Structure 1
Amino acid sequence: MKTTAPSLTIRRSSERGHADHGWLDSHHTFSFANYYDPEHMGFRSLRVINEDRVAPHGGFPEHPHRDMEIFSYVVAGRLAHRDSMGHRRELEPGEIQLMSAGRGVTHSEFNPSASEAAHFLQIWIQPRQRGLEPRYTEWKPEPARESEAKVLLISPDGRDGSATIAQDAEVYRLRLTPGATVSHRLADGRGAWIQVIAGVLEAGGATLHPGDGASTESAGTLDFTAGGETVEALLFDLG
């Protein structure tokens, strides 16, 4: 990263909360359930980043949500989603489903495999207002864009085929081959969070490993460079 670029505040993987329920192994970037850290309650509208590994045939039974934008990004294995709006879907690696809970929905998420663990990130973003109409959207990678370094997954206007969110939030998938660099311009008044999923990422003079997160609220150009292996990460640009 250039010396004039924003500096980053690092949240290391080892600092996250952890819960092991046998069928579920979960790491919490921010306070969640029985894990409470008053210094890490979220970042702007971003409230939850849970990295979950679900054992074969394990999962979350039907439960309610309201007034939250919830999406899952599948890293490995498969994730079966069902909700009270009538959606039934099995997600594969690189795909997301975004559920706007609005004034209330119920849903379940299960690992349908009998032999393979499901690895995914579950992310909650606070909506722009309460009591919205519940809705569901999806995103899956187009084969022609699989090799792109930065792809828009989620946006408030659904542009470029992205899933639509009820918040001033843009979410990008970064996928960098070894040594590759990608940039992102952060405008005045906005904040950025980067969450590394795989590989080693150089950013802001820091080295980020899988599970690490980093944030900035300073405008400028963010440059991200992959180390000696392919990097996969999610980048949040938040109003």
Structure 2
Amino acid sequence: MIEVRAANQRGKANFGWLESHHTFSFGSYHDENHMGHSALRVINDDTVAPGAGFGTHGHRDMEIISFVTQGVIAHKDSMGNVQTLPKGEFQLMSAGTGVTHSEFNASDTEVLKFLQIWVVPETRGGEPGYQQKNFGQAQGLTPVITPTGENGTLKIKQQTRISQLYLAAGTEQDIQLAQGRKAYVHMVEGSLTLNGQGLSAGDGAKVFDINALKTRNQSDAVAIALVFDLP
């Protein structure tokens, strides 16, 4: 079964400096029908005004992923990391026993857009950690986050695999899931069909009890999505 979550059905928050769309319940937006999917708990589609951002705040027992789609994030944390994340960069922060950090738009003139993603870890506690990498824009499915950190991927503390799907105009990609696994597909840019169902930017799809997914980009523009292979 595939259950589509349209972009315009998501929760919304607007604080002036921040406009956010929530795929799942978050902050003041609460919907018992959308509390996450398997270990995937949060997908926030954030737009941050020039020079603004999230001041220092804390997290624990969560795997926190940022994926920049426009602009540059300026990041600082209690582990001593002071980093910038440009467009296309993936960041994975394992909060573990506790970490504080801040995230600001590094530009005083351009907006910042990024996806903030939370995955519930397999076990609580553990040493906090930080990883960051750009995986480029190779055609097809590119693993970016895995439980083992294999082949240069970022290592997550959960039995979850996250891949970047990049489809040029008129191309397609088959995706196989192991028996009993779930999946979630989040459209970042463009449009495609998922087993015949249309998805556009901001849309998402929960996948249950299906082992084979066929994605097709039937448009004349690039399509980019994130594919979550979940326990």
TM-score range, shorter chain: over 0.9
TM-score (norm 1): 0.94
SS of residue paired to 1:160: helix
Residue 214 of structure 1: aligned partner? 205
Distance in 1 (alpha carbons) for counterparts of 2:135 and 2:4: 29
Structure 1 residue aligned with 2:123: 129
Question: Corresponding residue for 2:222?
Answer: 230
Aligned partner of 2:62 among 60, 65, 68: 68
Deviation of 1:148 after TM superposition, in Å, equals 2.5
Contact 1:169–1:238, Cα closer than 8 Å, also in 2? yes
Aligned to 1:115: 109
Match of 2:184 in 1: 193
Give the CA deviation at 1:141.
Answer: 2.1
Which 5+ residue runs of structure 2 have no aligned equivalent?
none
The CA deviation at 1:38 is 0.5
Aligned residue for 2:107, secondary structure, equals: coil
Indicate yes or no: 2:22 matched with 1:31: no
3-state DSSP of counterpart to 1:31: coil
The alpha-carbon deviation at position 139 of structure 1 amounts to 1.9
Alignment partner of 1:154 is 2:145: yes
**Does 2:28 match 1:49?**
no
Shift of 1:219: 3.4
Shift of 1:205: 1.9
Deviations 1:87-140 (A, max 9, x none): 111011111110000010000000010111011000000000111211111121
| Alpha-carbon separation, structure 2, partners of 1:132 and 1:15 | 36
SS for the counterpart of 1:202 is strand
Q: What amino acid maps onto 2:19 in structure 1?
A: D
Deviating more after overlay: 122-131 vs 7-16: 7-16
1:180 equivalent in structure 2: 171
Contact 1:30 1:49 in 2 (8 A): yes
Equivalent residues, number: 230
Residue identity in the other structure for 1:21: F
On the 8 A contact 2:139/2:168 being kept in 1, the answer is: no
Contact (CA 8 Å) 2:50, 2:111: kept in 1 or not?
yes
**Alpha-carbon distance between aligned partners in 2 of 1:188 and 1:78, rounded to the nearest angstrom:** 39
Output the amino acid matched with 1:190: R
Q: CA deviation at 1:147?
A: 2.7
Aligned-residue CA RMSD (Å): 0.9
Preserved contact between residue 186 and residue 218 of structure 1 (Cα < 8 Å): no
Q: Distance in 1 between matches of 2:89 and 2:6?
A: 25
What letter matches 1:227 in structure 2?
A: Q
Give CA deviations for 1:137-176 in whole Å, capped at 9, x if unaligned: 112125xxx3321111100100121100000000000111
1:100 aligns with 2:94: yes
Following TM superposition, the consecutive aligned residue runs of length 4 or more in structure 1 with deviations greater than 6 angstroms are none
Q: CA deviation at 1:217?
A: 1.8
Contact 1:199–1:227 at 8 Å: present in 2 too? no
CA distance in 1 between partners of 2:142 and 2:91 (Å): 16
Amino-acid identity (%) = 45
